[in-house]
Amino acid sequence: MKNKFLKATFILMIGGLITKLLGFTIRIIYTRMVGSDAINLYSLVMPTYSLLLTIATLSLPIVISKLISEAKTKSIKILANATIITLIINICAIIIIYFTKDFIANNLLHDQRCSILLMAMALTFPFVSISSILKGYFYGKQKMVPHTISNIIEQIVRIALIFLIIPYLVEKSIVYAVMGLILISIASELASILTFLVFAPKKFKITKQDIKPDMKTTKEILCISVPTVSGRLIGNIGFFFEPIILTNILLYVGYSMDFILNEYGAYNAYTISLLAMPSFFITAISSSLLPEISKFYYHENYNMVKKRLKQAIILSFIVGIIFSAFIYIFRDVLLITLYDTTKGEEYIQVLAPFFVLFYLEGPLQSVLQAIGKAKATMIITLIAVLIKLGTMTILSLCHIGLYSLVIAEIIDIFIIVILCINAIRKELYHYL
């Protein structure tokens, strides 16, 4: 079992490293093709996209991975019911966005150009959702090679299409260039889906009963997905309101819109992007950890739960220390090499030491979800978001610019890690 866990983690880490390098290549190519104005516009709509995508995908990789690893229900029945649920939600989301895109663009994001971008984003939902369902299946079976290969192919397709399409769209306008990048996701997700299907078992015994909607299976999916997606939804609502609150308050205290767009764009596109660079390691650990903990906890093997928890924390902490120190020391070189700019360097200097703890968030939340405490993660996220937005609001009135957001981010990291550790201790106190 030990070898299986470490092997799965290692495969995901290697695949994540390759995917991340390809992702950085994409970001470098795209940034230099379209310029800072397009990047700022893209950063402005991304919080809204993250919020809507969380609703549309219903946290299915986590839900399906947990259910399949526990082997309480036939895999095909889980996949069939999950597909029906997510497609219904996707259709509803697309319709809602169609009728509200102008309101969101004009009144919340203060930029009419965001309207067409929101509609383009909505069209990607069904493709991302189906890909998420297949990803969850292979996670649950602890088969990480299909996921790794699909991610690499997805990024290669994205790079090819950027070279072919984006230069032509840039000549038309910034909006077309950003919309092109969004719609390229449809083709890349299709490539990912086809890759998963190649690795799918060829001898699935499918009956009509398996693919019919089943209330018991649907209830199992929703009992896990609703609190899980609620937690993510709360986090994305916070991310959604972050630029809205920040923009309005900074405008109120006298900062210009150009300053806000440039600084917030640099913070998201360069600072956070660079600091989150090792997140593929953490994602690998969390993805391998969830089905393992779910399986052992379901079968009451608490010794293995304890062992996997310690392994995940130690690995995540080591990764956090190494990368935080490296990014802090070489921040200028990394920014120039990757993005051809030094914007956001001052924010990295403040944030980097605290991102050691940020890398613990994923594994800790995966453990809570695996032991059936998705509701606890939702409550923790709610508390953290409220404190973060409240802190940012107060500090924004103190004329310290984007540092109000930087300080709020640090507080948010501490709160999530401390509350997650307390929740795990409370649940597993008698066993650990």
Q: What is the model's pLDDT at position 1? A: 44
* 82-109: average pLDDT: 87
Q: Can you give 69-124 as a three-state secondary structure string?
A: HHCCCCHHHHHHHHHHHHHHHHHHHHHHHHHHHHHHHHHHCCCCCHHHHHHHHHHC
Residue 202 scores a pLDDT above 90: no
* 8 Å CB contact between 406 and 348: no
In sequence order, the 6+-apart residues with CB closer than 8 A to the CB of 109 are 44, 45, 48, 243, 244
Tell me which amino acid residue 212 is: K
356-410, pLDDT tens digit by residue? 999 999 899 888 888 888 788 889 999 999 999 999 999 999 989 889 999 999 9
* 143-162: average pLDDT: 88
* 67-77: average pLDDT: 73
pTM: 0.75
Residue 125 scores a pLDDT above 50: yes
Q: What percent of the chain has pLDDT over 90?
A: 18
* 43-64: average pLDDT: 78
Tell me which amino acid residue 114 is: C
Number of domains in the chain: 1
Question: What Å distances lie between residue 140 and 126, 215, 307, 308, CA to CA?
Answer: 21, 21, 19, 16
* 8 Å CB contact between 340 and 35: no
Quick check: helix, strand or coil at residue 1?
coil
Q: Which two tokens stand for residue 221?
A: 């999916």
Residue-range definition of the domain harbouring residue 69: 2-203+210-428
Name which of 372, 358, 353 is nearest 428 in CA terms: 372
CA atoms within 13 A on the CB side of 235: 20
In sequence order, the 6+-apart residues with CB closer than 8 A to the CB of 42 are 178, 181, 269
DSSP strands (E only) in 313-403:
none
Q: Distance between CA atoms of 427 and 293, rounded to whole angstroms?
A: 14
221-270, pLDDT tens digit by residue? 777 777 877 887 788 788 878 888 898 899 988 888 888 888 888 898 88
